[in-house]
Amino acid sequence: MIVSLMLATSMCMQVVTPEVTARIAKLKNQITVGVVGGSDLVKQKEQLGEDVIHTFDYSFSENGLVGYHNGECINKTSLKEYVGNDKLNKFINFTLLYIANLDIPIKRGTFIEFRQGMLNVSPIGRNCSQDERDDFEQYDHIHQVRAKMVNVLRAQFADYDFTYSIGGQISFDVFPTGWDKTYCLKFLSAADFDEIHFFGDKTHVVGGNDYEIFVHDRTIGHAVKSPEDTLRLLDTLFP
């Protein structure tokens, strides 16, 4: 049996610990190990190390719209080419105006991050500090800032066929329907892998950025709450 393990990067925006790195290295002697996240490759390197495309057998950033296998690029898909500049401008202008009129305790900078295959929208702005990030997460949990914003955008741009995926602490991703984390599965053929185990934390709510791949018929989903929780489960499944 050939097994693949896919880890979500959204479980913790902190830098990966030496314990996790060591466990991944050990795991690669047993099975194929990959990582998939909504953030771009730059952020993935900040979180998992500059050598992430070699640390993992498969490295998928932006849900797999940018993909590497054994250090070699196997895919790059462009949102700009797929959607078109005019439609993107309309969406971005409306979103920035919405944020400008949004009454929240703190705003910083980089409210929209344009990535290779998606837009990342942050009401507080991605330039916030870690403490501000933590505070906004708690504020958003109570006031549902991101969820309300997604509902407005979904109604305003119903003809765009966009999917909105809330993940992490401060932002949500916007991409064409079908470009969620299940996108990476097309590079893991059923002929090559008998089982694909997926570990993520945003798994149980439609719109959470791990939900679609967690419930996909090709994956065995595992809901985890932290890197430590992941390590404990890995020790049980792959001793």
Residue 214 assigned ligand-binding role: yes
Residue 77 assigned ligand-binding role: no
Residues sharing a CB contact under 8 Å with residue 116, sequence separation 6 or more, in sequence order: 40, 62, 65, 66, 76, 77, 78, 79
Residue 201 assigned ligand-binding role: yes
Residue 78 assigned ligand-binding role: no
Give whole-number Cα distances, 213 to 11, 25, 132, 135, 190, in Å: 15, 24, 30, 28, 15
DSSP 8-state code for residue 188: S
Residue 115 assigned ligand-binding role: yes
CB 74 within 8 A of CB 96: no
Residue 126 assigned ligand-binding role: yes
Count helices and strands (H / E) in the chain.
9, 11
Residue 180 assigned ligand-binding role: no
* Strand residues in the chain grouped as ranges (E): 3-8, 32-36, 58-61, 66-69, 72-76, 112-114, 119-121, 162-167, 171-176, 195-200, 220-223
User: Would you list which residues are annotated within the binding site for Mg(2+)?
Assistant: 201, 214, 219
User: Would you list which residues are annotated within the binding site?
Assistant: 115, 126, 133, 171, 173, 201, 214, 219
User: Would you list which residues are annotated within the binding site for alpha-D-mannose 1-phosphate?
Assistant: 115, 126, 133, 171, 173
